[in-house]
Amino acid sequence: MGARLDASDVAQEVCLRLHRGFARFQGQTVPELLGWVDEILRNVVASASRHHGAEKRDAGAEVAGGDWLAALRAAITPPEQRAMHHEEAARLKEAVVRLPEPQRTVFRLRFYGQLPFAEISRQTGKSVGNARVLFLRATEWLRKEMEEHT
């Protein structure tokens, strides 16, 4: 993927998503902000990977120098914050599994997949309004779960 996608393209897309979504960010601490930025970075890379992977090329053969994404993450996140983020991400992943199936599906598509509600509606067969409600309920429940285990 590296031969077809430059790190500056990733950085530009991450900055754009940060700018668009900052009003919705509800964290209160620097680690929460860094975790949010890291999640957006992961989503941008996953989207780019899906897009470029759809061309059925061996992306690994095109990467000069290999693991530029890991180097980018390491450059912007101190080790102690990376460790804390990994712990929080693991707790979130465990909590997501405990959500009721409709909420879990909508949450994964919206939060991890960054899909618009119209696309979530199309994929799940739920109305856009219902998808929004399921996502809201999932995020409220997950927020309480994460606060209880902090």
> pLDDT of 14-29, one tens digit each?
888 888 888 888 878 8
For residues 88 and 38, the answer to whether their CB atoms sit within 8 Å is: no
- Name the pTM for this structure: 0.48
Question: Which residue ranges form the domains of the chain, and what is each CATH number?
Answer: 1-77 (no CATH), 79-150 (1.10.10.10)
Written as six digits, the tokens of 90 are: 């693991």
Exposed e or buried b for every residue in 102-134, given b needs 16+ CB within 10 A?
bbebbbebbbebbbebeebbeeeebeeebbbeb
Tens-place pLDDT, residues 37-73: 888 888 888 887 776 655 444 444 444 444 555 565 5
For residues 37 and 14, the answer to whether their CB atoms sit within 8 Å is: yes
| Cβ count near 59 (within 10 Å) | 16
d(CA 96, CA 145) in angstroms, rounded, equals: 10
d(CA 128, CA 116) in angstroms, rounded, equals: 9
For residues 134 and 103, the answer to whether their CB atoms sit within 8 Å is: yes
